[in-house]
Structure formats: structure tokens, C-alpha cells
Structure 1
């Protein structure tokens, strides 16, 4: 596949903008094998991929722009594998997961690209009853990464657990609720920027 992405107006002209940004171009390859169908029965999939990018658009910090600025990485490569599996354990109960290993490199310096963890994945569990109750949980696991292109500022890995529930009322109404970051994990995806703690949501959905 061939890709092309022009800088957005925000990336060019905002407070963090850079009017000298070049368009991003990429060439990608992937090869995979799959058994079954996602969402039912036994499903297995394995995919290998590689993407070479010129002028990759990213966000970083410089001495002249300590608050942050959009920058081009002249030559970058991201390659790795993605594995996926799912199985129906019992009637109405399904367990699935996905794991990715990604090696993302600045090919000019040989250093890792900023904020690209090598390892990340999610485990899903969903149960649906015969009387309209649905329960689910997601466990997201993200490995450590570097916050900057110089690979001097380390971001720690983290785990997040989300829970959700729903209950159908008749044919047109559904009550739902979810709790994100159940254990109120303290984590960062960008150094110095906060992330949401434990959050609770609920409501009702109506279908016509």
C-alpha cells in the first residue's frame, strides 16, 4: 500500500504548528493468516507488517519550542507482528485477545520513535444472558516507551481495566453503564500530561 498525508492546518498554524512541515509519504506491506471468523467460534489470526515512512509527522520538543511542536522524521520504519485469538468458552461467554509487537525506529538516528511501545495488547471477556443482561471487561496492557526522540525520557508501562454492563428493556430500550480505569491507575501517554482516573458512565439507549 502507498500512503500520503498532508499536514493539517492545526499542525501548520496552531500554537504548536510548524509551517515548514513536509507531507508524509509511506509504503506498507502486510501478510497474514486467519482461521475462523472474528466474534464467533474459534478464531485465530497472525499478521506480519512493515511500513516505511518519509517525513513522518510527529510531535516533539526542542530548545526553541519547549512547549512542543510538530516535526518531521525524515526516515522511519515500523514493523512487527499482531496475533489475535478468540473462543466461546460457554454458551454466551466469549474470551478474546489481541497482542502486538512493534519495532518503530527513526532510520536516521537508529533510535526508537517517541511514544511507540514495543508491546501492547488487550484481553476481552463478554457474557450475554438469555434474559437481556450483558457483562463485559477489557484489560489493556501497554509496555514502556520513550517520550522523546532522543530516548532519554522513559514512559512507564501500564495496565487498565474497564468494566461494562447493559440490560435490554423490551425491543427498543437498553440501560447501560461502564467503569473505565477501575483501579484508578496513574499513568502517562505523554510526559507531563495527565490522564483520566477512574470514570463512571451510565445512560439509556432508545432504538426506533
Structure 2
């Protein structure tokens, strides 16, 4: 029988003030983060956090000839998370996390819009369940399921669900460390109950569910170079993520990263 150790509590907090100065308009606001972790039993951890974050518009958001909007305000997010982690036999960890986000002045350019805009109020909430196994030193296995509810709660909105934010997502991942400083990674992602709107937001369309596989092979050379090759959408799945615009099919890529 597993013994119980003394409960431990860890907490932390932080804050800051951020500003953006530009010739036409300047803006500044505060952020903070508070978090708590409580070790209820040996291998059982409870977690909670609350944060206020801000996001300023980027240079592209402001000055791009087509999409730029000089009247954009900073985006403000209140984010709360509560969850737990549990260690299991065979080097396995499971977790359950619930979250709620309330966002004001969300910065976005939805499909069909010309300029980036501030949207008065967005709401997100959901839950994620995940399991991770490291029984073999060279192998990492991870599985997760997430549920997401999203809604535009602006006073002038007629969207009961935000586009391109799927309700259901399942991800399976595996990473294996090969000899000769090589590693291989593979993932499968299943997405369901995503929606999109036409240009004038009068027609809501449910996007068919889809399954996408990705692979990546990498090799370290003398601790300075990383060589990599990957395949996105390896089985050439036919799917869409925007209204009437099919997603790209199978794509292969590669490159070199130099660390100095």
C-alpha cells in the first residue's frame, strides 16, 4: 500500500506593467499571476492559478496595408485554471485541468473581414484530460483530449460559437530517442465540431471532422547543428479549416538549425 507523505503547499505570485508607445496612440496596463500547488498525497497534486494578461497589437496588426488598423486597443484576458495530477505505476502521470477565459477587446481578423478588429467580449471554457508515460527512458508517449466552448459575447454579435475553435480534439504523440543522436516524433490529431462562417456571418457551417498524422526526424551534429525532416498531413487527408477553402495536402519540409 502506498504511504502518504506530509502535505506540502507551494504558491507564487507576480505582476507587471506594460506599455506600447506609438505616434498615433499609446497604451499601458497591468498584469498579474497567482498560483497554488498543493501536494495532497504522495503523487497527487492539486493546482490552481489565476492571471490577468494583456496583448498589444503587433506591427502587422497596426500598419499592414491591407489588414492594419491604427485604432486597435490592447487585448485583456482573465484566465483561471484548476486541476490535478496523479502519478500512477509504470512511470505514468494523468492530469485533469479545467479552464475559463474572459477576454475583452480580442484582436482578430476573422474570415471575410478586411481589417483586424477589437471584439468586445470573447468567452472560452473547457477541460483537458491527459496521460503521459515514460516507462522506457528513450520513449515518451502522450495522449490528450480537450473540450472547448467558445462564444462571441459582444453586445452586437450574432455568433453563438467562434469559428476555427473545435469543440473536441484528441492528440496522440510519441517521441523516441534513436542511436547516433537521432530522434523521431509522430502524432495523430483528430478534430471534431469546428464551425466557420461565410463572409457576412449569415451562414454558419459545421466543418467535417478530420484526422491528421505528422512525422518528424531530427539529428544533432556536434551539439551545434540540428538537422530535421518532417511530413505534415502524411496521409494526405482532405479537410478544411476555413469556409470554402480546403487545407493544403501532404507537405514535406526540412532544414538546419545552428546553435551558437
Fold shared, TM-score > 0.5 on shorter chain: yes
Gaps of 5+ in 1: none
How large is the RMSD of aligned CA atoms in angstroms? 3.1
Aligned to 1:161: 213
Deviation at 1:175, TM superposition (A): 5.7
- 1:157-190, CA deviations, whole angstroms, 9 ceiling, x for partnerless residues? 3211012334567877776432221111222322
Between the aligned partners of 2:53 and 2:226, the Cα distance in structure 1 is: 41
Equivalent residues in 2 for 1:184-199, closer than 5 Å? 184-193=236-245, 195-199=247-251
Name the structure 2 match of 1:80.
Answer: 126
Q: Is the partner of 1:76 in helix, strand or coil?
A: strand
Quick check: 2:95–2:130 contact (8 Å CA) kept in 1?
yes
Aligned match of 2:173 in 124, 147, 158? 124
* 1:42 equivalent in structure 2: 92
Mapping 1:133-144, distance limit 5 Å: 134-144=183-193
1:26 aligns with 2:99: no
Q: Higher relative contact order by CA 8 Å / sep ≥ 6: 1 or 2? A: 1
Classify the secondary structure of the residue corresponding to 1:12. helix
* SS across alignment from 1:178: strand
Going from structure 1 to structure 2, the CA distance change for 1:153 and 1:110 (only over 3 Å counts) comes to closer
Task: Tell me how far 1:26 sits from its aligned partner.
Answer: 1.8
1:16 matched to 2:72: no
* Cα separation, partners in 2 of 1:28 and 1:130, compared to 1, 3 Å: same
Task: Check whether the contact 2:215–2:234 (CA below 8 A) recurs between aligned residues.
Answer: yes
The separation in 2 between residues aligned to 1:2 and 1:201, in whole angstroms, is: 38
Query: Which stretch of structure 1 is more off in the superposition, 99-108 or 165-174?
Result: 165-174
Paired residue for 1:183? 235
> Which residue number in structure 1 is paired with residue 147 of structure 2?
101
Task: Name which of 51, 62, 68 aligns with 2:101.
Answer: 51
Secondary structure, in 3 states, of the residue corresponding to 1:11?
helix
Structure 2: state its 5+ residue gaps.
1-50
**Contact persistence 1:92–1:127 (CA under 8 A):** yes
CA deviation map 1:79-125 (0-9, x unaligned): 01111111246563332112211101112446011211111231012
